[in-house]
Copies of this chain bind each other. A is one copy, B any other.
Amino acid sequence: MTPAFRPTDISPAVTRLSALAPLGPEGLAALDEAQRHRRKIAPHREVSPASDSRTGLILSGWAARVCHWSDGRRQIMHVLLAGDLLDVEQAPHSVSTIALTPVEICPTPHANGDDGLAAAFAQSRVLERLYLFRHIARLGRLNAVDRLTDWLLETRDRLAMLGLTSGNGFSLPLTQETLADLLGLTSVHVNRTLQLLRRDNVLEWSGGALRLNDPAALARHLDYQPAQGKSGSGL
């Protein structure tokens, strides 16, 4: 229909949602319909659902839930990817959602016939909570090297659910400064940590493409286990 979008395209968001819960034809149709109302948000701009709605669905790009202090410090609480719900949480004082890259969102499709969509959204919220838990554990107890690799493992798994990985590689369109805000470090230290990891052949990162050389070994070292679906099956 429109140049860059064919309704039956398997968009990353659809890939993920149907992995979270099997979607029937009605659910897929609702998703198609919603995607027709997509909207673009430029980097650094605030991401918020249409003014009349309380939620939205991310279709592509990277966004972040950020908290900032009056002295300029920032902390990224969570990274949002395609298929993630943009709940209008009652942001306390300083929690906002901003685009880290160009982001596309659409209104949340309403699961009229409840065609698996509601289940997928519920599961999505469960996973988000899991990611928040993990991030707390990461910030509380891991050092810089482990924080970074642990987050990369998790992010790789999330991108895999979207069909956006190729083997152990994936696109990571973030700056070191953003990683610092995410991991509770300074950009200087992120830089040095990355140099360490490159030197030790743990990863390669250039031109926005990152590759983990031995994710299994990393996971073992970090006690990392991928997120699990509701019935414990690897996801």
A145 within 8 A of B: no
Contacts A67-B133, A139-B139, A223-B70 known; A126 to B92 CB distance under 8 Å?
A: no
A132 to B134, CA, bound (A): 11
Q: Give, as a whole number of angstroms, the nearest-CB distance from A10 to chain B.
A: 26
A25-33, A101-109, A196-204, A224-232 - the one binding chain B: A224-232
- A75 near B126 (CB under 8 angstroms)? no
Interface residues of A (CB under 8 A from B): 65, 67, 69-70, 73-75, 77-78, 89-90, 92-95, 126, 129-130, 132-137, 139-141, 183-184, 223, 225, 227-230, 232
A67 surroundings in chain B (CB, below 8 A) = 133-134, 136-137
Residue A141 contacts which of B130, B184, B225 (CB distance < 8 angstroms)? Answer: B184
- A223 near B136 (CB under 8 angstroms)? no
A74 surroundings in chain B (CB, below 8 A) = 141
Contacts A69-B141, A90-B130, A92-B130 known; A136 to B77 CB distance under 8 Å?
A: yes
- A69 near B139 (CB under 8 angstroms)? no
Identify the closest chain B residue to A67 (Cβ): B137
A137 surroundings in chain B (CB, below 8 A) = 67, 75, 77
Contacts A69-B141, A92-B130 known; A75 to B184 CB distance under 8 Å?
A: no
A95 surroundings in chain B (CB, below 8 A) = 133
A90 surroundings in chain B (CB, below 8 A) = 126, 130, 228-230, 232
Question: Most B CB atoms within 10 A — which of A65, A67, A126, A140?
Answer: A140
